[in-house]
Structure 1
Amino acid sequence: MVQKAVSSGYLHATTKHQSADAFLIAVPTPFIEESKVKDKKADLGYIEAASKSLAPLLKIGDLIVLESTSPVGTTEKISEWLAEARPDLTFPHADGELSDIRIAYCPERVLPGNVLHELVENDRVIGGLTKKCSEAAESLYKIFVRGECLLTTARTAEMSKLTENSFRDLNIAFANELSVICSKLNINTWELISLANRHPRVNILQPGAGVGGHCIAVDPWFIVQSCPAESRLIRTARDVNDCKPEWVLNQLEVILKNIRVKNPGYTSRDITVACLGITFKPNIDYLERVLL
C-alpha cells in the first residue's frame, strides 16, 4: 500500500517542511520525571518545536491538527506559540471564529497490529478551538474516516483521549492488585477471576507484569499533572501498575532460590526461565527487556 501511494505521487517523505492546506502534528509526548517530585509531567518540547517549525509556511485558511496525546490545554498552547511566531496572522485563541488559521485536536485511536483498519473504521473525536476549527478538521478526516466524526471542544477532546487510557489503566491496576492479594492469601488468582467473571456485570481483566506499551503507562500522568489534588484514584492506579514488575521479579527470585535449595549443585546456567508475551500486543514489533 505504501509503495502504491509513493509510486502514484500521493505520498512522499521529506526532512523539510512544505506548504500545505492542512498540517497534522503527530510527535512524541513523553513525561519528564523529576527526581525530587513523585508525579510526572508531560514534555511538550516536541509539539512546540513542530509548531514553530511550520509557522513560516502558514497562510490564511490553513488548518493545523494535533494528534499527539497531550495534557488538557496543549492545543491552546499551539495557537499561542504560532501567534508569537506569526504576528501577521490571527489565531483562534485570541480572535475566535474570525481567526485566519484553524486549529483542532483529534487523537488517534488505533490498535497496534490493526492500524490500517482502525484508522479508517474507528470513530474520531475532533475538538476545535472554535466551531469553525472543528468543522474544518471534520472535513479533512471525512476524506478517509468511515466511522463517525464527533465534534466537541479541544479541551474535551484532549481529556477524552486521556480518559480512555486512564480507564484501561485503572482496570488493569485492579487485576494486578488482586493478583498480589491472592498470592498473599494463597488463592489461585486465575480461578478467582474466572469465578468472579461469571457474574453478568463483572469483567475483571487478566493480571500481568504491569502495563505494556507506551501509552497507558504515560497518559494518566497528564491528568494528574492538570489536577493533582483531584486525581487520587488515577495516581494510585499508576503506582500499583508501576510496582507490579518489581513484584513479579521478586516472585521469580523466590522460585529460583527454592530451585537452588532443592538442587544444591545448580547454577544460573542450569535453570531456564521462559518469558511468554514479550510484546504487549499480538502482531507488533518485538520489545526486548532485560529481566535478570
Structure 2
Amino acid sequence: MTNINVLDPGASPLDYYGFELRRLREAAGLTQRQLGDIVNYTGSLVGQIETARKLPTPSFSEHVDAALGTGGVLSRLVILVMRSQLPAWFQQVAELEVRAVEICTFQMGIVHGLLQTPEYVRAVLGALDDTDLDDRTAVRLARQRIFEKEEPPLFWMVLSEAALHQEIGSPEVMRQQLTHLLSFENNPRINVQVLPFSSGAHAGLTGSFTVFRFSSDPTIVYTEGYGSGHPTANPDTVKDCSLRYDHLRAAALSLKESADLIRLVMEERYGEQGEADGDPVA
C-alpha cells in the first residue's frame, strides 16, 4: 500500500499549496496521473508538488485551475508560495513591490530583477551557485507578475550604461535582455533611462537604490548588500535618495535617446559577428 505523505497545511505556503492541490484533485475524483494527463504534466510532478517536494509554477497553477474549475485559487496561492521561497531578507522587499504604486530604481551594474529575462536571471543567479537554478529562476520571474495587476505600479529605472556593456551570460543572452528593455518603449508605465558614461560624476556613485511610493503609507528606500537588504522609511534618508534620484533622472538620457543607445550597444557589441573573425589568412 502506498504511503501517502500527510502535509501540515499550516507549516508553510508550499505545504498549504500541496494540501489544497491534493484536496481539489481528490474532490474531482482524479488520480495524480489522470490530472497530469489533463494538464500535460507528469503524474509524478503532480505528486511531488502535492507533497511539497517540488515548487509549483504559475503556468502549472493556471492549467490546474482551468482543469478543476477552482476559480483561480491555485493561481492566487502560487504568488504567496513563490514569495515564501525568496531569501528571508528579501521577502519584505517583494511585498513592497506588490503594494507600491510607484517604483523608482537606480541600477549600477545589472538590470533590475523586475525587467530581467529568464536567461539573464539564470546567468545572474548561477554565477556562483547553480543549485536549484530552475526553481530560483522561477521565483525571481514570478515577481514580474505585478505588471499584470489591474493597476500595475509605475516603474522607472535609471540604468548605468555600464550595465549594457557588462556581458551577463553570453552575447545572445544580452541581445535578448536588451531587446526586452526596448519592448517597453511605448509602455508609459515602464520607463527605462540610461545614465551615459559621459555624465561623469553623478548622484548615484554611492550605489544602487530603489524608492517605493505608496498610495497612503510612507515612502520607503531600499538598498542592498551581500546577503542583506536595508529598507527604511527614515525621513532624512528618503529625502536624500529622492533628491538623488531626481538628479540621476535629469542627468540620464531621455527615454528616446536611451532606447537609441540600447539599440546601438545591442547591435555593435552583441550583434551577429559574421565570419570575419574566422576567415583564413590568405
TM-score normalised over the length of structure 2: 0.24
Q: Which has the higher contact order (CA 8 A, sep 6+)?
A: 2
Taking structure 1 as the reference length, the TM-score comes to 0.23
Larger helix proportion, structure 1 or 2? 2
Whichever of the two has the greater Rg, that structure is 1
